[in-house]
Amino acid sequence: MPTSREDVKGLVPLNILVSALLTDMYQITMSYAYWKAGRHNENAVFDLFFRKCPFKGQFAIFAGLSEVIALMNSFTFSPSDIAYLRTVLPHCEEAFFDWLGQLDCRNVRLYALEEGSLCFPRIPLIRVEGPLAVAQLLETPLLNLINYPSLIATNAARLRLAAGADKTLLEFGLRRAQGPDGALSASRYSYIGGFNGTSNVLAGKLIGVDIRGTHAHAFVQSYTSFEQIKDPTLDGKDFVAIVKGYRDRPVCGKGSGSSNDGELAAFTAYAQAFPDGFVALVDTYDTLQSGVPNFLCVALALDDLGHRALGCRLDSGDLSYLSQEVRKMTTEAAKTFNRPFLATTNIVASNDINEESLHYLADQGHAIDTFGIGTNLVTCQAQPALGCVYKLVSIEGVPRIKLSQTTSKITIPGRKAVYRLLGADRVPILDIMLKDGEEPPQPGVPILARHPFVATKRARVTPTQVVRLQEMVWDGQAGGATSDMPTIHEVRATVAKGLKEIRQDTLQRLNPTPYKVSVSEGLHDFLHSLWEKEAPIRELS
Amino acid sequence: MPTSREDVKGLVPLNILVSALLTDMYQITMSYAYWKAGRHNENAVFDLFFRKCPFKGQFAIFAGLSEVIALMNSFTFSPSDIAYLRTVLPHCEEAFFDWLGQLDCRNVRLYALEEGSLCFPRIPLIRVEGPLAVAQLLETPLLNLINYPSLIATNAARLRLAAGADKTLLEFGLRRAQGPDGALSASRYSYIGGFNGTSNVLAGKLIGVDIRGTHAHAFVQSYTSFEQIKDPTLDGKDFVAIVKGYRDRPVCGKGSGSSNDGELAAFTAYAQAFPDGFVALVDTYDTLQSGVPNFLCVALALDDLGHRALGCRLDSGDLSYLSQEVRKMTTEAAKTFNRPFLATTNIVASNDINEESLHYLADQGHAIDTFGIGTNLVTCQAQPALGCVYKLVSIEGVPRIKLSQTTSKITIPGRKAVYRLLGADRVPILDIMLKDGEEPPQPGVPILARHPFVATKRARVTPTQVVRLQEMVWDGQAGGATSDMPTIHEVRATVAKGLKEIRQDTLQRLNPTPYKVSVSEGLHDFLHSLWEKEAPIRELS
C-alpha cells in the first residue's frame, strides 16, 4: 500500500505520474518519424508562450518552473513504458525503442523567465533548445506543468488586488479541483499569487503553505444538547456552566434571539478542544438570531478563563449585510461586557466568492477580515485554461515561422533575446524581443520598438535600465539545473515586487492599459521577409 | 528517481498523493474535537449528493467510485503524516495522534449508486456509515474523487449527444488540465461518458483507453524541402519520386494551388514512418491551397504501394466550410484517379470545439468524421465544478437536518432507501427516497411520490419495475470492497444504457424536461416535522 512520499522536497516531481509518458501520442509518432528520417538529433529551438492574457486582463504571472526542472531531472521512459509503446506501435522498428529507452535531457538547454515574473503575450516564457525529438517530446508535459500554475497564480493575484492588501485570503478549493494535483497546485500557486494559506493539509505537509481550518456544519448538527458534553470542564473549571451563564445576557445567546442550544453546545465543545483557536461557523441555523449570539457566549466564557476567541465564519447569505451586522453585535458586546477584544474578532467569509463579488463587496461595504475562496479560485471559472502554446522557431540554426490566417497566431521566428526596458523608478515601459546576435538595448540609448504585425505602431524608448528576461535554467551538459530553485516564499516575493513595480493601470479591473510587447527593427524586418516568403499566393478564380 | 508505477491496476489509488492527508484542515480539527469529547466512535451517516445538474441540463453521470474504493483500501495516516500534524497542532493531546495513527476504514460501510448510473439532484450518490470521526475525515477526499470524474463524464456524454452516435470523439486535453490527475481523469471519464479515445499516452498505459495521435505543426515546419529526406524509399521503391509524380496532376499538389513543398516533404516523411497510419495535419500553411492537395499526393502514392491513407486533420478556420471542401476535393480525386477509398478518408477536426459548436456544426452541415476536443472537455468550461456536498443526516440513529434560508439547501434527514420506479419498456418515471424501514415500492402497487419541499407537487405512480439504486460497495468488517470493480468498458456500457433508457426529452439541449426526484409520504412528513422543530422562530421588532 502506498504511503505519502517522503522524498518529495527534492528536485523530482511531486507526483510520480509526471513522467516522459505523460504526453500526447503525436509526440511519440513524430519522434518515430524524425528518428526514421535520421533527423532526431537536429538542433531545434521551441518557444513556450501565450497569446492573450487571461481573465480579460493585461498581465499574467509565470509559474510552474521548478516543477519543469523536476521533470527534466527525471525525464525518462521506463522499461514498462517502452513495453507499452511497443504494443501500440507494433510496426515501428525495434531500434527506435532502444533509442527511446535511453533518452534523457542531457543535451537540452532551457532558458526561462524568473518564476513569479509578470509576463505578457508572445514573450517566450521558456525557450527549449536541444535535439529535435527530445525537445518535441517535452511539449506536452511542459505545457501541462506551466498552464495551470500560471493561470492560478494570476487568478490569485487578481483576487488579492480585488480584496486589498490588508485582507487574509485562504484557498479552500480541494474538493472542487481536478484531483490531488489540481488541488495541490491550487494551494501552491495561489500562495505564490498572494494568498496567505490553504485548507489543504497535504499542501501544508508537502509544500509548506500555512494551513487553516475550523469546523463544518456537520459538527454543529452533531450536537443537539449540552447533555452530549460528558466532561463540562476547561482548565479545571466548569466551562459549560460559565457558557450557560452568558446565555440569557444581552446580545448573547437567548438574549439576542432564539438561539439553538445544540449549536451552543457544539461551540462549547469545540472551544474545549481549541480554547486558543476558537472560530465558530455561525450559519447552521440562523446567523444573527443564533450563530453570533452563541459565538459571543463562548467567546466571553473563554475570556473568563484567559483564552482569546479568534472569530466567526459566515458561509451563506448576504455577506456585506451580515458581516456588518456581526461587527455591530461584537462591538456592542465589547462595550456591554467591557471586553474590547470582541470588537476586533476576525470575521471570515466564504461561499462562492470570486473577483467580481470581491469588488462588489468593496463597493457595498463590509466588515470581513478573511476570505475563504474555493471553487472560483481552483477552477479559474472566468477562464479555466491559459492556452500556452509551444512552437518550433528554429531548426539547425534556420529560423522557422508558423503562418495562420489569424495574424495574432503567427509565430515570431528564430532564437530571440528578450529584454524589459525600465524607466525612472524601475517602472517597466515595455518588453522587446531582439534577433539572436543583435546588440542588447543600452540604458540611455534610444531604441525603436515596433509592434510585430502593425507597421504604424512604433515607439522610440530611452530606457533608464535594461533587464534581460530569460536566463538559462537548465543545461544538461553542465549537470542540469543551473542554480537552486527559489522557495515558494521567494517566488511569492517576486510576484509581489512585480505587481508593485508595474504601472498600476495595467492591473486595473476595468479597461486595463495594455503593456507593450514589441520587436526590434531588425526582428520586425526579418519576421516580415520570412512571412512573405512562406505565405502562398492564393489562386482566385 | 521515480519511474512509472507498475502496481496501479489494483485497488490502490492511481496517484500516491491520494491519501488520508488529502483533506481539509477542519476535518482534522473536528476529529480532535470529537475525540476530545469522546464522541469519535458515535455512529454517523453522511450523504454525498449534488443539488443541481451541471451544464444547465437535467441529468448527470455518477463516476469516480472505483477510485473511492481504492482510497478506502489505503486510508491511513503515515508516521510522517502524524509527525507533520503534531507540528501544526502542538496543543493537541498525544493520545489523539496515537489514535489517528491507527485509523483505517474497517468500521465504515459505503452504499453507492452503480458507477456510470444516470443521477439526479438530492439523490445520495454515496452514503457513508461509520464512526463519526472517520466518516467526517472521508468528506474531502470523497468529494475530490467524485466531483470532477462525475462532471467530466457528464460533459463527455453531452458532447456525445451533440456529436451524434456515428462520430469518433477523441480527448485532447492533457496540456490544459490541472496537472497529470486532471488529465488522466479526463481521459478515463470522457471514455466512460462516450468518447472513443485520448491523446494521453499515460492514460493508455495505466487505464487502457485507446490512444491516438498524428503529428503537430512543428513537424511540418521542420521540413523546408525534399532534400531533408535522406532515404527516399518505401518498401524498396522510390517513394519520393512517386509522390512528386502526383505533384502537378489535377486536384493534387501544385495542380490545385500553390502548395508548399516543405509541407509535402513533411507528409512524405511521415508516410514513410507510418505508411498504414497516415493522417496529415493540413492547416500549417493553407488548408485548401496546400494542405489537402499535398495530402492527396501522398495518399495516392501510398495507394500505389498498397497502403491506405487514413485521412487529414483540420485545426483552424471554419470547420463546416473547410470539411465540406475537403470532402469535395477527396471525392473529386477519388473519381479523377479512380481510387474510391479517397472519398471516404477520415476528416478529423479540432480547435476549440465545445457542445455549442457541435450543435452549430450539425446545423450548418459538415463532413467531419472525428472530433478532437481538448480545453472545453477537460476544463468543463461551461461549468468547471459539479458542487457535490457531503452532509450529516444521522447520528447514533437520530436523524439530523441542516437548515438554510435557501430551501433547496435543506438536507433530507436520516438514513434513506432510494428506488428508481420504471414504467413499461424500462423507462424510468422518477426516483423516490423512503425513510429507513419503510416498505419498498412494489411493482403494480400505486405509491404517492411527493416533492420534498413543495406540498402541491405530488404524483401517484404505479411502477412496472422497481430498482433499488444504492448497493453496499464497501463493508470494512467484511474485508472491504463487496465485489470486484467493473472495468472502464463495463462502466461505459452502463452510461450508454442509462442514456438510452431515459426519456429523451430529459437529455435534450434546450429546455430539457426535469426528471422527478421525490420522497415518500412518510419521509415528507418526517422531514417537515424535523424542519419545524429545528427552525428558530424569528424575533422581529
In chain A, residues with a C-beta closer than 8 Å to the C-beta of B14 are 17
A16 interface with B at CB cutoff 8 Å: yes
In chain A, residues with a C-beta closer than 8 Å to the C-beta of B17 are 4-5, 14-15, 180-181, 184, 202
User: Mean per-residue pLDDT for A107-112?
Assistant: 98
- Compare B382 and A255 and report the one with higher pLDDT: B382
* Distance from C-alpha of B161 to C-alpha of B119, rounded to nearest angstrom: 17
Q: Are B374 and B434 within one domain? A: no
- Determine whether the interchain pair B212/A25 forms a contact, defined as Cβ–Cβ distance below 8 Å: yes
pLDDT digits (tens, 9 = 90+) for A413-469: 999 999 999 998 889 999 999 999 999 999 999 999 999 999 899 999 999 999 999
A3 interface with B at CB cutoff 8 Å: yes
Q: Closest residue of B to A16, CA-based? A: B2
B285 interface with A at CB cutoff 8 Å: yes
B136 interface with A at CB cutoff 8 Å: yes
Instruction: Note whether residue A348 is domain-resident.
Output: yes
The structural domain count of chain A equals: 2
- Determine whether the interchain pair B174/A22 forms a contact, defined as Cβ–Cβ distance below 8 Å: yes
Answer with the one of A379, A398, A415 that is the final residue of a domain.
A379
The C-alpha cell that represents A102 in the structure block: 535511453
Strand spans (E) along A303-373: 311-314, 346-349, 370-373
pLDDT digits (tens, 9 = 90+) for A170-179: 999 999 998 8
The C-alpha cell that represents A330 in the structure block: 461584537
User: Mean per-residue pLDDT for B171-194?
Assistant: 94
- Contacts of A200-204 spanning 24+ positions with Cβ under 8 A: A200/A171, A200/A174, A200/B22, A200/B23, A200/B24, A200/B25, A201/B21, A201/B22, A201/B23, A201/B24, A201/B25, A201/B27, A201/B28, A201/B85, A202/A4, A202/B17, A202/B19, A202/B21, A202/B22, A202/B23, A204/B25, A204/B84, A204/B88
pTM for this one? Answer: 0.95
Residue A372 and residue A350 in contact, taking contact as beta carbons nearer than 8 Å: yes
Residue A258 and residue B538 in contact, taking contact as beta carbons nearer than 8 Å: yes
pLDDT grade for A2, boundaries at 50, 70 and 90: very low
In this predicted structure, what is the pLDDT of residue B62? 98
B202 interface with A at CB cutoff 8 Å: yes
Secondary structure element (H or E) that encloses residue A481, with its range: strand A480-481
Query: What is the average pLDDT value for chain B, to the nearest integer?
Result: 93
* Distance from C-alpha of A506 to C-alpha of A521, rounded to nearest angstrom: 25
Q: Are A35 and A165 within one domain? A: no
How close, in Å, is residue B58 to chain A by CA atoms? 21
In this predicted structure, what is the pLDDT of residue A541? 63
Q: Is the pLDDT of residue B6 over 50?
A: no
Exposure of B510 in the CB half-sphere (CA atoms within 13 A)? 2
Strands B465-468 and B416-422: antiparallel
Q: Are B374 and B393 within one domain? A: no
Query: What is the average pLDDT value for chain A, to the nearest integer?
Result: 93
Q: Is the pLDDT of residue A30 over 60?
A: yes
Q: Are A124 and A221 within one domain? A: no
Q: What is the DSSP secondary-structure string of B277-339? A: S-EEE--SS-IIIIIHHHHHHHHHHHHHTT----EEEE-SS-HHHHHHHHHHHHHHHHHHTT-
Residue A441 and residue A529 in contact, taking contact as beta carbons nearer than 8 Å: no
In this predicted structure, what is the pLDDT of residue B7? 33
End-to-end C-alpha distance for chain B, whole angstroms: 69
- Determine whether the interchain pair A24/B258 forms a contact, defined as Cβ–Cβ distance below 8 Å: no
In this predicted structure, what is the pLDDT of residue A425? 86
User: Mean per-residue pLDDT for B167-186?
Assistant: 93
Report percent pLDDT > 90 for chain A: 85
* Distance from C-alpha of B279 to C-alpha of B349, rounded to nearest angstrom: 12
pLDDT grade for B214, boundaries at 50, 70 and 90: confident
pLDDT grade for A406, boundaries at 50, 70 and 90: confident
pLDDT grade for A6, boundaries at 50, 70 and 90: very low
Report percent pLDDT > 70 for chain B: 96
Angle between helices B319-336 and B292-304 (to 10 degrees): 40
- Determine whether the interchain pair B259/A91 forms a contact, defined as Cβ–Cβ distance below 8 Å: no
In this predicted structure, what is the pLDDT of residue B257? 64
Q: Are A485 and A391 within one domain? A: yes
Q: Which of B23, B24, B354 to mutate to test the interface with A (most CBs of A within 10 A)?
A: B24
pLDDT grade for B255, boundaries at 50, 70 and 90: low
- Determine whether the interchain pair A395/B222 forms a contact, defined as Cβ–Cβ distance below 8 Å: yes
What is the number of CB-based contacts under 8 A between chain A and chain B? 441
pLDDT digits (tens, 9 = 90+) for B263-316: 999 999 999 999 999 999 999 888 998 999 999 999 999 999 999 999 999 999
Answer with the one of B336, B361, B379 that is the final residue of a domain.
B379
How close, in Å, is residue B373 to chain A by CA atoms? 13
- Compare B17 and B320 and report the one with higher pLDDT: B320
For the domain that residue A162 is a member of, what is the CATH number? 3.20.20.70
Q: Are A214 and A151 within one domain? A: no
* Distance from C-alpha of B72 to C-alpha of B66, rounded to nearest angstrom: 10
Instruction: Note whether residue A244 is domain-resident.
Output: yes
User: Mean per-residue pLDDT for B194-202?
Assistant: 97
Residue A20 and residue A141 in contact, taking contact as beta carbons nearer than 8 Å: yes
* Distance from C-alpha of B493 to C-alpha of B488, rounded to nearest angstrom: 9
B220-253: burial string, b at 16+ Cβ within 10 Å, e else: bbbbbebebbeebebeeeebbebbbbbbebebbb
- Determine whether the interchain pair B269/A143 forms a contact, defined as Cβ–Cβ distance below 8 Å: no
In chain B, residues with a C-beta closer than 8 Å to the C-beta of A204 are 25, 84, 88
> Which of A42, A25, A70, A71 shows the shortest CA–CA distance to A133?
A42
Q: Which residue has the cell 495542380?
A: B255
In the stretch 230-259 of chain B, residues with CB closer than 8 A to chain A read: 230-231, 257-259
How close, in Å, is residue B167 to chain A by CA atoms? 20
A501 interface with B at CB cutoff 8 Å: no
Coil, helix or strand for B462? coil
pLDDT digits (tens, 9 = 90+) for A135-158: 999 999 999 999 999 999 999 999
Q: Which residue has the cell 472525428?
A: B370
Q: Are A244 and A145 within one domain? A: no
pLDDT digits (tens, 9 = 90+) for A186-218: 999 999 999 999 999 999 999 999 999 988 999
Q: Are B214 and B130 within one domain? A: no
For the domain that residue A463 is a member of, what is the CATH number? 3.20.140.10
* Distance from C-alpha of A57 to C-alpha of A51, rounded to nearest angstrom: 12
Residue B215 has its nearest CB partner, among A30, A39, A274, at A30
User: Mean per-residue pLDDT for A319-331?
Assistant: 96
Residue B207 and residue B171 in contact, taking contact as beta carbons nearer than 8 Å: no
> Which of B263, B340, B327 shows the shortest CA–CA distance to B297?
B263
pLDDT digits (tens, 9 = 90+) for B367-403: 999 999 999 999 999 999 999 999 999 999 999 988 8
Q: Are A269 and A345 within one domain? A: yes
Instruction: Note whether residue B14 is domain-resident.
Output: no
pLDDT digits (tens, 9 = 90+) for B480-530: 999 999 999 999 999 999 999 999 999 999 999 999 999 999 999 999 999
Q: What does DSSP assign to residue A226? A: G
* Distance from C-alpha of B117 to C-alpha of B432, rounded to nearest angstrom: 15
Instruction: Note whether residue B436 is domain-resident.
Output: yes
Rounded to a whole number of angstroms, the CA Rg of chain A reads: 29
Residue B118 and residue B499 in contact, taking contact as beta carbons nearer than 8 Å: yes
The C-alpha cell that represents B470 in the structure block: 444504492
Coil, helix or strand for B396? coil
Q: Are A406 and A497 within one domain? A: yes
pLDDT grade for B254, boundaries at 50, 70 and 90: low
Strands A465-468 and A416-422: antiparallel
How close, in Å, is residue B173 to chain A by CA atoms? 9
CB-based contacts of A326, cutoff 8 Å, min separation 6:
A282, A287, A288, A292, A312, A314, A347, A367
* Distance from C-alpha of A106 to C-alpha of A439, rounded to nearest angstrom: 30
Q: Is the pLDDT of residue B458 over 70?
A: yes
Of the candidate ranges A309-323, B401-415, B439-453, the one whose mean pLDDT is the lowest: B401-415
Q: Which of A45, A81, A222 to mutate to test the interface with B (most CBs of B within 10 A)?
A: A222
The C-alpha cell that represents B173 in the structure block: 486535453
Exposure of B508 in the CB half-sphere (CA atoms within 13 A)? 8
Instruction: Note whether residue B19 is domain-resident.
Output: no
Range of the structural domain that residue B529 is part of: 25-155+384-534
Instruction: Note whether residue A6 is domain-resident.
Output: no
Strands A43-49 and A389-395: antiparallel
Q: Is the pLDDT of residue B462 over 50?
A: yes
B201 interface with A at CB cutoff 8 Å: yes
- Compare B29 and B224 and report the one with higher pLDDT: B29
Residue B179 has its nearest CB partner, among A28, A182, A390, at A182
Angle between helices A292-304 and A261-273 (to 10 degrees): 40
The C-alpha cell that represents A346 in the structure block: 476576525
Instruction: Note whether residue A257 is domain-resident.
Output: yes
- CA distances for B524 relative to B49, B128, B420, B436, angstroms: 18, 22, 17, 13
How close, in Å, is residue A505 to chain B by CA atoms? 29
In this predicted structure, what is the pLDDT of residue B279? 96
pLDDT grade for B460, boundaries at 50, 70 and 90: very high
Q: Are B353 and B484 within one domain? A: no
Where does residue A164 fall: left (phi above 0), alpha (psi -120 to 50 degrees), or beta otherwise?
Answer: left
In this predicted structure, what is the pLDDT of residue A392? 95
Q: Which residue has the cell 501541462?
A: A144
* Distance from C-alpha of A528 to C-alpha of B20, rounded to nearest angstrom: 57
- Determine whether the interchain pair B78/A277 forms a contact, defined as Cβ–Cβ distance below 8 Å: no
B19 interface with A at CB cutoff 8 Å: yes
Answer with the one of A346, A379, A412 that is the final residue of a domain.
A379
B41 interface with A at CB cutoff 8 Å: no
Q: Are B204 and B251 within one domain? A: yes
Q: Which residue has the cell 421525490?
A: B518
The C-alpha cell that represents A290 in the structure block: 443564533
- Determine whether the interchain pair A147/B176 forms a contact, defined as Cβ–Cβ distance below 8 Å: yes
pLDDT grade for B115, boundaries at 50, 70 and 90: very high
Q: Is the pLDDT of residue B136 over 50?
A: yes
Instruction: Note whether residue B13 is domain-resident.
Output: no
B52 interface with A at CB cutoff 8 Å: no
